[in-house]
Structure 1
Amino acid sequence: MTGQIMSRPSVRRPGVRRRVAGLCTGLTAAVVLLSGCQVGEGSSSGLASQPTQSASGSGAAGSGSGSGSAGTEDSLPKLSWKRATASAVADPPVASFNPAAHDVFTGYTSPDRQSGSGSATPKGFSSAPAGAGMSRYLDQQISWTACGSFQCGTVLVPLDWDSPDGQAITLTMKRKQATERSGNRPAKGTMFINPGGPGVSGQDMLTSFETGSFPGYDVIAWDPRGSGQSTPVACGTAAQTDAFFDLDSSPDSSAQWSAVIAGNKAFAQQCRRASGALLDHISTIDTARDLDYLRTRVGDPKLNYLGISYGTFIGATYAEMYPRRVGRMVLDSAVNITSNDSVSQVMGFDKAFHAFAGWCARNDKECGLGGSADEVVRRTQNFLAGLDSRPLTVGSRSLTQNQAATGIAFYLYSGADSYKYLAGALGWAMERGQGKYLLAAADSLNGRDVETGKWDNSAYAFPAILCKDSADPGLAGARAQWEIDQKRAPLLGRPFGVGLVCTYWTAKPATQLRISARGAAPIVVLGVTGDPATPYQQAQWMAQQMSSAVLVSWRGAGHSAWSLGNSCLRNSVTGYLNGGVVPRNGLTC
């Protein structure tokens, strides 16, 4: 697939690729052994946020090899934001949203997005409940049924919250009931959790989430609209999706540029034909409105929430829209909610690989990729460059440059615990010419079942949500940003490729909120100093921009402080969510 590696839409630019954050779901037994993953570990991690594409004058649409004016910071348009025209003084009604009551980013016009039409009715489309207007939904209750040791539920919400008499869609969720209760109620209410993505099933997260660390809460994980068992985004056939992910996303010639542009346009039209109007109502703003509605259905006056990676964007967006309804909120591995692009995801992965290379140099007998960090980096860089013209054959498929880089990223999500397995996968590919382990890791990241070749819904929900959330400056900006990425991240900037899926998407972007969450209760932001997917600076920026936020840092490597962090970090989370003790701002664990 084209584009950089997965991400929460950083307010501005889209990147395109999804990852399973440290998960081993879908890997064959051989790859599980090689990767060092264990079933059930890491599933509370979320997907990452990806750098956006910025505009520049680097070549005309559809033109040749990108040899126009080089992408530089000065050539990119500067984002600005405009003041709200109204003030949010009183709590809005349930699930309502008034863009005029918020500050918004301006400057990107998404000039190359396509038009598209489709009358598809994805699974879960339904008639609205009986009644009129919002009253149709205010008497609705979640229908809970037993499902193993959990309870599973469904509820209808409007496809368009501003048109509650129109089409309805289905949200699905899973609940683990509190062990500490007060009568028929959980002692502390409900805590909603989200693993990130965008587009990953929340229900899957709950299966292995440590609910025992939060005994006073009913813990609910829901599949956000478009994902999992909720009304899902659909796109093309498995063969069409294979073709999309096999595109050469690091084009070197006019013909390759034409092919990657055509492939992105075709994918966008496949999604429009299969998903119809759902693509126009799948932003994180829509999801925050869903979440506010779910809060009322469980009877909680305020939202208690733990979100990871892209899940931090859901939480931050909610806090901006409904600050007075924020209860106890923890945002782990924060995405970039600011207009500061000085540190991007591709830079995070490059930095993480250099840390791996240093480990290799210190453990040359175990790693075997080089006696110095520079040698490991050089050999890997040469290997990736060679794949551009000579992919490795893996059965009936090929390990391309982009897929190899994606496979490398898969291992880096788990930090130092996966170093020896990344060394093994690279060794098989670089020394034996066998790319099967890197390709399997890339498949898992991208949402392709290693054994069956079927594509998970998240491969489609990810770009749909990402592109609705992100305004972009078109093809010229995508090309310029890719040039900048290659300068900032010399190892992975080129093989991660140029991000074009949002450039040619068929839905216009939603309102781009500037998030400050003025008036919210304390919000705890977690950052990992060696996070490859959501670089640590993004957690610092989030904590600075959100008025009530405090920052807690873990000195470590990998994605998700809650999943990987030490007792100091985890105690700061449980102390706040369970006891209301706000950690000291700047605490480092």
Structure 2
Amino acid sequence: MNVRKAPVSLRTVAAGVLASMLLAGCWTGSRPGSPENSGSVSARSSASGPSAGSWSSADATPASDPPVASFDPAAHGVFSGDTSPDRQTSGSGTGAGVAGPAGVTSPPAGSGVDRYLNSTVSWKPCGKYRCGSLAVPLDWNDPDGPAITLRMKKAPATGTRRGTLFINPGGPGSSGQDMLNRFDVSAFPDHDVIAWDPRGSGESTPVRCGSGAQTDAYFNLDSSPDDQNEWNALTAGNKAFAQQCRAASGRLLDHISTIDTARDLDLLRHLVGSPKLDYLGISYGTFIGATYAEMYPTRVGRMVLDSAVNITDDDSVTQVMGFDKAFRAFAQWCAEHNDQCPLGDTADKVIDSTTRFLDRMDSRPLTVGTRKLTQSLASTGIAFYLYSGTESYQYLGAAITWAQRGEGRYLLAAADYLNGRDPDSGRWESSAYAFPAIACRDEADRGLAGARTQWTADVKKAPILGPTFGASLSCVYWSARPAEQMRITASGAAPIVVLGVTGDPATPYEQARWMASQLSSGVLVTWRGAGHSAWSLGNSCVHSAVTGYINSGQVPSDGLTC
């Protein structure tokens, strides 16, 4: 199970809701593949970030200026390796029309790419923000074909406007508009702050898959099979889900990669009149930013990439290892606060108590109303709390304690939040479908054999949660082939500030170090803390480094530790 990277602001809100219910004692795998690109690209042999100091866009001398939203695969280094041998090809790229998704429309008047470059965003009031929509090509290589819709939200600058800051919360497939609703725009008073729902997500043209019942069945699959019959059920379930997504989303699945999104973002930058892109991306949002910087290095302005995914070919530290490390930190806290967390008076006892509970769940899931808390969903629920670091330790301890006593509603609700299911209505958010659609276009895989081998390695490297997180098969049988696998170095880009959290569960700290090293102009800033997102959870030192750069162009010292 590779856990989705949901926006930390939504996780924090959800944790607060769960906390109140836990403390009151009342309540009225994930399976998508990770966008970490482990084994995807080759690291630079050496790198040195720019020195601290002031940076202005005038300091960059572009060697070339590619056309807006262009992409020439031959202009970028690529890697060879994984071949995705078991992907389903029926219906993929047939050009047989677009089935299902809302927001498919006719392209603007004109012809070729110019019909989009001459567009305007019509902004309308929506509460305290301005909301807008824009048509972009379904297929950027066929600008005269069908168009899809992007929806966005803007918080106008409150000071002297000097530009636009684009933000993205990650996912992949999480809503940028939702992020803006909780984003501290006052930190960037001289910027319009714009958040958009990337293609396939939120209110933009969405990826659709099966019915609610079919999606429930998919997320209820046992991702840690014990015998061949369980493996057969897991593979059949993933094949069926992939087919449901193709049937409901059609050709959209072939044009949902981060390369497509970077092209969308370059159009947005152009249409708001910004010669350079100022950008703050969290988690998978760092992959959007890094991809943009590789494709359009001369148009990178002040870019901050927080809680970086893996853009290198070093897979020695994987996501499940990050969750294991984070759970060990929780276990130590729990042992030291045994009055609040009665799972054991030593970290080893807390770990043993939890793993024994998860082992029992394999054959004895807990009944929660009309549903079951399975072993896989219980593991996802635990992961949910780890995203928020120490803020959620008390609530995680309570949720596990209740589950051990037979009350599984709290872990199930946490799993629902992380998977994209509304715990009350049972409706699935678009992110549940956009996540695999984007992730499986972004990364190649090694088929079923590779997934089984990877799970065996995960169990050895992450013995706490690796066994129950299970094998990730969603990309194995996906119906779209992987997009170009670029080697990302962003040569010629302005300084790119990369934030890393030493106790990050979802994007382990090592990945931030690797990204900062591989990017030609990478600058690493480290927050010694726990949880996912230094910007959302970090201290004043982190905030000063980010605001100083975006607002004033002050590049933090490479290697700064907060």
In structure 1, how many angstroms separate the alpha carbons of the residues matched to 2:206 and 2:561?
40
- Mark the CA change 1:353 to 1:225 in structure 2 (over 3 Å): closer, same or farther: same
SS at match of 1:220: strand
The match for 2:327 is: 353
Equivalent in 535, 540, 543 of residue 513 of structure 2: 540
The TM-score, its normalising length taken from structure 1, stands at: 0.88
SS at match of 1:364: coil
Q: Which letter does structure 2 place at the counterpart of 1:172? A: R
- Mark the CA change 1:406 to 1:35 in structure 2 (over 3 Å): closer, same or farther: farther
Q: Which letter does structure 1 place at the counterpart of 2:246? A: R
The match for 1:175 is: 154
- Kept after mapping to 1: 8 A contact 2:41/2:312: no
Shift of 1:130: 1.0
The match for 1:65 is: none
The match for 1:23 is: 10
Q: Which letter does structure 2 place at the counterpart of 1:380? A: T
Q: Which letter does structure 2 place at the counterpart of 1:321? A: M
In structure 2, how many angstroms separate the alpha carbons of the residues matched to 1:147 and 1:79?
42
Shift of 1:116: 3.0
Equivalent in 251, 257, 260 of residue 283 of structure 1: 257
- Kept after mapping to 2: 8 A contact 1:304/1:326: yes
Is 2:235 the counterpart of 1:261?
yes
Q: Which letter does structure 2 place at the counterpart of 1:535? A: P
Equivalent in 317, 328, 338 of residue 343 of structure 1: 317
The match for 2:52 is: none
Q: Is 21-30 or 433-442 further displaced after alignment?
A: 21-30
Correspondence 1:426-575 to 2 at 5 A: 426-430=400-404, 432-575=405-548
The match for 1:303 is: 277
Q: Which letter does structure 1 place at the counterpart of 2:18? A: V
Shift of 1:108: 1.0
- Kept after mapping to 2: 8 A contact 1:52/1:472: no
Is 2:300 the counterpart of 1:321?
no
- Kept after mapping to 2: 8 A contact 1:352/1:530: yes
The match for 1:33 is: 20
In structure 1, how many angstroms separate the alpha carbons of the residues matched to 2:497 and 2:16?
38
SS at match of 2:339: helix
In structure 1, how many angstroms separate the alpha carbons of the residues matched to 2:33 and 2:208?
21
The root-mean-square deviation of aligned C-alpha atoms, in Å, is: 2.0
Equivalent in 129, 144, 163 of residue 108 of structure 2: 129
Shift of 1:28: 9.9
In structure 1, how many angstroms separate the alpha carbons of the residues matched to 2:100 and 2:440?
20
In structure 2, how many angstroms separate the alpha carbons of the residues matched to 1:490 and 1:317?
33
The match for 1:67 is: none
Equivalent in 1, 4, 28 of residue 2 of structure 2: 4
In structure 2, how many angstroms separate the alpha carbons of the residues matched to 1:189 and 1:30?
36
SS at match of 2:554: coil
In structure 2, how many angstroms separate the alpha carbons of the residues matched to 1:254 and 1:26?
40
Q: Which letter does structure 1 place at the counterpart of 2:321? A: M
Correspondence 1:86-105 to 2 at 5 A: 90-105=64-79
The TM-score, its normalising length taken from structure 2, stands at: 0.92
The match for 1:70 is: none
In structure 1, how many angstroms separate the alpha carbons of the residues matched to 2:34 and 2:361?
26
- Kept after mapping to 1: 8 A contact 2:154/2:194: yes
- Kept after mapping to 1: 8 A contact 2:11/2:384: no
Q: Which letter does structure 2 place at the counterpart of 1:491? A: I
Shift of 1:417: 1.1
- Kept after mapping to 2: 8 A contact 1:416/1:557: yes
Report % sequence identity.
65
Q: For residues 138-169 of structure 1, what are the alpha-carbon distances to aligned partners after superposition, in whole Å with 9 as ceiling and x for unaligned? A: 21100110000000001111111111111111
Q: For residues 161-181 of structure 1, what are the alpha-carbon distances to aligned partners after superposition, in whole Å with 9 as ceiling and x for unaligned? A: 111111111110000000123
In structure 1, how many angstroms separate the alpha carbons of the residues matched to 2:521 and 2:537?
25
Q: Which letter does structure 1 place at the counterpart of 2:150? A: L
Shift of 1:494: 1.2
- Mark the CA change 1:107 to 1:174 in structure 2 (over 3 Å): closer, same or farther: same
Q: Is 109-118 or 382-391 further displaced after alignment?
A: 109-118
In structure 2, how many angstroms separate the alpha carbons of the residues matched to 1:583 and 1:35?
41
In structure 1, how many angstroms separate the alpha carbons of the residues matched to 2:252 and 2:226?
35
SS at match of 2:120: coil
Q: Which letter does structure 1 place at the counterpart of 2:387? A: Y
SS at match of 1:191: strand
The match for 2:377 is: 403
In structure 2, how many angstroms separate the alpha carbons of the residues matched to 1:418 and 1:544?
32
Q: Which letter does structure 2 place at the counterpart of 1:493? A: G
Q: For residues 364-422 of structure 1, what are the alpha-carbon distances to aligned partners after superposition, in whole Å with 9 as ceiling and x for unaligned? A: 11111101100000111111111111111111111111111100011110101111110
- Kept after mapping to 1: 8 A contact 2:170/2:282: yes
In structure 2, how many angstroms separate the alpha carbons of the residues matched to 1:149 and 1:233?
28
In the alignment, structure 2 segments of 5+ residues that lack a partner are 24-31, 45-61
In structure 2, how many angstroms separate the alpha carbons of the residues matched to 1:538 and 1:416?
21
Q: Which letter does structure 1 place at the counterpart of 2:105? A: S
In structure 2, how many angstroms separate the alpha carbons of the residues matched to 1:79 and 1:479?
22
Shift of 1:23: 2.7
The match for 1:229 is: 203
Shift of 1:34: 4.7
SS at match of 1:170: strand
Equivalent in 209, 215, 230 of residue 241 of structure 1: 215
In structure 2, how many angstroms separate the alpha carbons of the residues matched to 1:507 and 1:553?
37
Q: Which letter does structure 1 place at the counterpart of 2:87? A: R
Runs of 4+ in structure 1 over 4 Å off? 24-30, 47-54, 78-82
Shift of 1:4: 2.4
- Kept after mapping to 1: 8 A contact 2:152/2:177: yes
Shift of 1:26: 8.7
In structure 1, how many angstroms separate the alpha carbons of the residues matched to 2:37 and 2:292?
22
- Kept after mapping to 1: 8 A contact 2:2/2:33: no
In structure 1, how many angstroms separate the alpha carbons of the residues matched to 2:279 and 2:80?
29
Q: For residues 281-300 of structure 1, what are the alpha-carbon distances to aligned partners after superposition, in whole Å with 9 as ceiling and x for unaligned? A: 00000000000000000001
In structure 2, how many angstroms separate the alpha carbons of the residues matched to 1:494 and 1:52?
21
- Mark the CA change 1:90 to 1:446 in structure 2 (over 3 Å): closer, same or farther: same
In structure 2, how many angstroms separate the alpha carbons of the residues matched to 1:216 and 1:101?
35
Q: For residues 107-133 of structure 1, what are the alpha-carbon distances to aligned partners after superposition, in whole Å with 9 as ceiling and x for unaligned? A: 111110002327404111011111111
In structure 2, how many angstroms separate the alpha carbons of the residues matched to 1:474 and 1:441?
30
- Kept after mapping to 1: 8 A contact 2:38/2:315: no
- Mark the CA change 1:32 to 1:363 in structure 2 (over 3 Å): closer, same or farther: closer
